[in-house]
Homo-oligomer: A and B are copies of this chain.
Amino acid sequence: MTKSRATMTQVARLAGVSIKSVSRVINREAHISPRLRERVEAAIAELNYTPDTAARSLAGARAFVVGVLFDNPSPNYTMNIVGGAHEACSAQGYHLRIDNLDSTEQDRALADQLEAVLSHGRCDGFVLTPPLTDIPLVLDTLERHDVRFVRIAPVLAPGRTPTVQIDDFAAAGAVAQCLWGMGHRHFGFVGGPPSHGAAGTRRAGFFSRLKALGLEAMPSEASGDFSFDGGIAAGFALLRTATPPTAIFAANDDMAAGVMVAAAQCGLAVPRDLSVFGFDDSWVALSVWPYLSTVHQPIRAMASAAVSLLLDHPREALALEPVTLDWTLIERGSHGPVRPER
C-alpha cells in the first residue's frame, strides 16, 4: 500500500475548514452545521479519504481492536464466530484479535494465560464464547482489569454481564414438540460435557416439553462430550437396549452425526427406523446423509451482535438485558414419523 493516502489535513484544505471540523464530522459529534458537514463529506468523497486507524488509536482513547476469546474445538463454530465478529468489526474500521485459551488448565495457568492476553496489546473489549463464558475465574479476572466484554450464550450468572444468546430451552422444546407430533413416544437424549452449560439447558427444555405433553417414561440418556466419537458411543449405549428409543435428540450436531453412525452399525435406517435431531446447524449437518434435522443457531449474527454491543455503546452504558436472537427449527432428512409398532 505504497500509494499515498489522503490525510485529514488535505480534506480540511479542500473543504476550506479546520482539521478539527473534519474530525468532528468523522466522529459524528454533535453541534455541526449541516452546511459544514456537507462540505466535508464532499471533500472526503472526492479524495477517497479513510481515517488512519493507527493515528486515531494513538491520539484517542480507543484502540480500534476487539478480541474474541475462545476455547472451542469445533472449527465450524469458531469460524462462524470469527466471521461474524470480523464482519461487525471491519464495518466500523476495527481490527479483530483472536485468542485461544485452554480452559482445561489449572486455575493458576488459566489466569496467566489471561494476563498474557491482556498485556499483549490494547483492546476495546472482548467477546467470550462457551465454555469460557461460564468460568468464574475468567469473568473475575476480566472485571478486575476493568475490561469490557460481552458473553455469547452463557449459562452462569445471567445478567451479570452483557449477553447475546438464543433461547436454548424453547428451541429444545420445539424439537420435542416436533418429534412428539410425529408419533414418537420413546426418546433418547445425548448430553454434552458439564462444562458446557447450554447442553444442560437444552436437556431441560427437551425433558420439560415432553413432560408437558404427557410423556411418562422419561428419555434414556447418555453423555457424548460434544464430539463425534462420543456421539457414536452414546448412540450404541442408547440403541443396544431392550427397548431402544425411536427418536434421539443430541445436544449438538457432531454427536448427532455420531448417533447416525451407531444407528447404521445397528442396522437401523435413518429416518425410517430412527429419527435423529441435532443442534447448531453446523457444517457437519450437511456432511452426513440424510442431511441432519437440527436447530439453526445464528452464530454469525450472534457474534456480530456481540461486537456491535461493545462498539455502539459508550463505556458505561452496556445494557445488561440479554440480547436474544431467533433460532429456527430445520427439518431435514434425519427425522420422520414413527413406524407402527411391530
Hey, which bits of chain A sit against chain B, CB under 8 A? 1-3, 5, 48, 50, 52-55, 57-58, 63-65, 75-76, 78-80, 82-83, 86, 90, 93, 95-98, 118-124, 145-147, 228, 232, 254, 257, 261, 264-265, 283-284, 286-289
Contact = CB atoms under 8 A, between A and B. Distances in A.
A254 B75 contact: no
B54 A1 contact: no
Contact of A2 (B64, B96, B146, B286): B146
B264 A1 contact: no
Contact of A86 (B2, B98, B121, B286): B98
7 contacts: A48-B119, A53-B121, A54-B57, A93-B121, A96-B96, A264-B264, A283-B284
B1 A75 contact: no
> What is the oligomeric copy number?
2
A50 B86 CA distance: 25
A210 B207 CA distance: 56
Most B C-beta atoms less than 10 A away, residue of A75, A86, A96, A120: A75
A50 B121 contact: yes
B146 A3 contact: yes
Given A50-B121, A147-B1, A96 B98 contact: yes
Most chain-B CB neighbours within 10 Å: which of A86, A118, A283? A283
Contacts of A97: 90, 95
Contacts of A63: 1, 54
Which A-B residue pairs are the 7 nearest by beta carbons? Answer: A54-B57, A261-B289, A75-B79, A79-B79, A54-B58, A54-B54, A95-B95
A145 B1 contact: yes
A280 B199 CA distance: 31
Contacts of A118: 1
Contacts of A264: 264, 289
B232 A75 contact: no
Given A5-B122, A52-B58, A93-B121, 11 more contacts: A76-B283, A79-B79, A90-B97, A95-B95, A228-B287, A254-B287, A257-B287, A261-B289, A265-B289, A287-B287, A288-B288
